[in-house]
Amino acid sequence: MADDLAPFPDIEDVLVRALADFGTCGTVTPADLQHQLPFVRPRRLGGGGGKVTDGPRVDIDVTARTRAEAMFIARAVQQRLLSGPLHVPAAGIIDRAVTEMGPHEVPADDPHLRRVVATYRLAARRLTTAP
């Protein structure tokens, strides 16, 4: 057991912390979404890890009152990810990001809101090994 590695960080948690200054950020869309805009939601779609690096594939949704605002925030999120490495204290490290599908508008559940989504392939690693 002494050679066991610590688990990879929860990439959704890492992203929530790393992107919190772009608006309300969480992994579950709140029931009162209209009152928490802009809202940024990272979702892990899959991907796998090796011994050193996790390779998650993620969508990052941005919901806002206008398409222009949602697109502006989505592009800013993209630039933050691409400018890595991104060290998120007490959470994890994103060494690299590659845009698989750039920011684009998709239908929002509420027709009065606009939603923009982008897909990324990340390279993330743990902060430490298990004791």
Q: Any idea which architecture 11-125 has in CATH?
A: 2-Layer Sandwich (3.30)
Instruction: Please compute the mean of the pLDDT values over residues 72-83 and round it to a whole number.
Output: 97
Q: What percent of the chain has pLDDT over 90?
A: 78
Per-residue pLDDT band for 14 (boundaries 50, 70, 90) equals very high
Please give the model's pTM, rounded to 2 decimal places: 0.91
**In this structure, how many other beta carbons lie within 10 angstroms of the beta carbon of residue 83?**
9
- Sorted by sequence, the CB contacts under 8 Å of residue 61 that are 6+ apart come out as 39, 40, 41, 42, 43, 115, 116, 117
For the chain, give every domain's residue range: 11-125
Q: What percent of the chain has pLDDT over 70?
A: 95
Predicted local distance difference test score (pLDDT) of residue 87:
92
Instruction: Please compute the mean of the pLDDT values over residues 44-66 and round it to a whole number.
Output: 93
Question: How far are the Cα atoms of 37, 57, 102, 103 from residue 32, in angstroms, in the given order?
Answer: 9, 28, 27, 24
Question: Is the pLDDT assigned to residue 77 strictly greater than 50?
Answer: yes
Question: How far are the Cα atoms of 10, 38, 64, 115, 130 from residue 5, in angstroms, in the given order?
Answer: 15, 37, 40, 38, 5
Instruction: Please compute the mean of the pLDDT values over residues 94-122 and round it to a whole number.
Output: 97
